[in-house]
Amino acid sequence: MPAGPGPNGRGSSRVHLTRALDASLSRLGTDYVDLYQVHQPDDETPIEETMATLDGFVRAGKVRYLGCSNYSASRIVEAQWAAERIHATPFVSLQPQYSLVARDIEAEVLPVCARHGVGTLIYSPLAGGVLAGRYRRDRGPDADTRVARLRAWGAPTAQRFADGIVTERGLDIAETVAKVAAELDTTPAAVALAWAAARPGVTSVIIGPRTFEQYEQNLAGFEITLPEEHTARLDEVSGPVPGPLDGRAARR
Question: What DSSP assignment string belongs to 49-65?
Answer: HHHHHHHHHHHTTSEEE
Is the Cβ–Cβ distance between 14 and 47 less than 8 Å?
A: no
Give the residue among 66, 83, 81, 84 at the shortest CA–CA distance from 112.
81
Whether residue 50 is predicted with pLDDT greater than 60 in this model: the reply is yes
Domain closes at, from 95, 117, 148 = 95
Is the Cβ–Cβ distance between 57 and 38 less than 8 Å?
A: no
pLDDT of residue 107: 93
CATH of the domain at 154: 3.20.20.100
Cα angle value 196/215/180 (rounded, 5°): 45
Pair (78, 175) in one structural domain: no
Pair (81, 158) in one structural domain: no
The DSSP code for 94 is E
Averaged pLDDT for residues 117-129: 94
pLDDT of residue 236: 95
Least confident residue range of 115-119, 129-133, 228-232, 239-243? 239-243
Q: Is residue 238 part of a domain?
A: yes
Q: Is residue 62 part of a domain?
A: yes
Q: Is residue 107 part of a domain?
A: no
Q: Which helix (H) or strand (E) holds 182?
A: helix 168-183
Confidence at 244, pLDDT banded by 50, 70, 90: confident
Whether residue 115 is predicted with pLDDT greater than 70 in this model: the reply is yes
Domain closes at, from 42, 76, 95 = 95
Whether residue 10 is predicted with pLDDT greater than 80 in this model: the reply is no
Q: Rounded CA gap, 211 and 147, in Å?
A: 16
pLDDT of residue 101: 94
Pair (136, 52) in one structural domain: no
pTM of the model: 0.85
Q: Which amino acid would we find at residue 6?
A: G
Whether residue 143 is predicted with pLDDT greater than 70 in this model: the reply is no
Tally of structural domains, the chain: 2
Q: Is residue 72 part of a domain?
A: yes
Pair (67, 139) in one structural domain: no
Q: Is residue 13 part of a domain?
A: yes
Query: Which residues are 229's β-sheet partners?
Result: none
Pair (66, 130) in one structural domain: no
Confidence at 142, pLDDT banded by 50, 70, 90: low
Total residues belonging to the chain: 252
Give the residue among 90, 97, 46 at the shortest CA–CA distance from 69.
97
Q: Is residue 252 part of a domain?
A: no
Is the Cβ–Cβ distance between 77 and 41 less than 8 Å?
A: no
pLDDT of residue 9: 46
pLDDT of residue 208: 85
Give the residue among 133, 124, 89 at the shortest CA–CA distance from 202.
124
Whether residue 252 is predicted with pLDDT greater than 50 in this model: the reply is no
Pair (132, 67) in one structural domain: no
Q: Are strands 204-205 and 119-122 parallel, antiparallel or unpaired?
A: parallel
Q: Tell me which residue range forms the domain holding 90.
A: 1-95
Q: Is residue 9 part of a domain?
A: yes
Q: Rounded CA gap, 14 and 6, in Å?
A: 7
Number of H helices, E strands in the chain: 11, 6
The per-residue pLDDT of the chain, averaged, comes to 87
Q: Are strands 119-122 and 91-95 parallel, antiparallel or unpaired?
A: parallel
Q: Is residue 120 part of a domain?
A: no
